[in-house]
Structure 1
Amino acid sequence: MTQTISPIVLDHPLVRHKLTYLRDRNTSTADFRRLTRELSLLLAYEATRTLSLVPYKIETPSGAYQGEQLDGKKLCFVSILRAGNGLLDGMLDLIPSARVGHIGLRRDHETLEVSEYYFNMPRDVPGRTCIVLDPMLATGHSASAAITRIKEAGAHKPIFACLLSVPEGIAYLQKHHPDVQIVTCSIDQKLDAHGYIVPGLGDAGDRLFGTR
Structure 2
Amino acid sequence: MSVTVVSHPLVQHKLTIMRMKETSTASFRRLLKEISLLLCYEVTRDLDLTTTMIETPMQPMESPILDGKKLVFASILRAGNGLLEGMLDLVPAARVAHIGLYRDHKTLQPVEYYFKAPEDIVNRLIIVVDPMLATGNSAVEAITKLKERGASNIRFLCLLAAPEGIKHFAEVHPDVPIYTAAIDEKLNEDGYIVPGLGDAGDRMYGTK
SS at match of 2:143: helix
Shift of 1:157: 2.6
Of 96-105 and 55-64, the range deviating more from structure 2: 55-64
Deviates more, 1:121-130 or 1:133-142: 121-130
Map of 2:43 onto structure 1 = 47
How far apart are residue 171 of structure 1 and its match?
0.8
Residues in 2 aligned to 1:54 and 1:179: alpha-carbon distance in whole angstroms: 26
**Residue equivalent to 2:108:** 112
Matches within 5 A, 1:137-176: 137-176=133-172
CA drift at 1:153:
1.6
C-alpha distance in 2 between matches for 1:196 and 1:51: 33
After the TM superposition, which of the residue ranges 40-49 and 65-74 deviates more from structure 2? 65-74
The question of whether the paired residues in 1 share the 8 Å contact of 2:54 and 2:60 is answered with yes
Q: Distance in 2 between matches of 1:77 and 1:17?
A: 25
Measure how far apart 1:14 and its partner are.
0.6
Q: Aligned to 1:90, which of 86, 89, 102?
A: 86
The CA RMSD measured in Å over matched residues stands at 0.8
Cα separation, 1, equivalents of 2:153 and 2:136: 17
> Which residue among 189, 199, 202 is the counterpart of 1:193?
189
Task: Please give the alpha-carbon distance, in whole angstroms, between the structure 1 residues aligned to 2:207 and 2:64.
Answer: 44
Q: Deviations over 1:15-57 (max 9, x none)?
A: 1110000000000000000000000001100111121111111
How many residues in Structure 1 have an aligned counterpart in Structure 2? Answer: 208
Structure 2 distance, partners of 1:204, 1:61, is 47
User: Unaligned 5+ residue runs, structure 1?
Assistant: none
1:184 paired to 2:151? no
Cα separation, 1, equivalents of 2:153 and 2:141: 14
1:22 aligns with 2:18: yes
In the alignment, structure 2 segments of 5+ residues that lack a partner are: none
2: CA distance between counterparts of 1:44 and 1:91?
A: 6
2:124 and 2:153 in contact (8 A); partners too: no
- 1:152-207 CA-to-partner distances (Å, cap 9, x unmatched) read 12211311000000111011111100010100000000000000000000000000
Q: Classify the secondary structure of the residue corresponding to 2:74.
A: strand
Question: CA offsets, 1:69-116, max 9 Å, x none?
Answer: 111112000000000000010000000000000001121112111121
The two structures have a TM-score, normalised by structure 1, of 0.96
| Structure-2 separation of matches of 1:94 and 1:146 | 23
**Deviating more after overlay: 153-162 vs 88-97:** 153-162
Aligned-residue sequence identity (percent) comes to 61
Query: Which amino acid counterpart does residue 158 of structure 2 have in structure 1?
Result: C
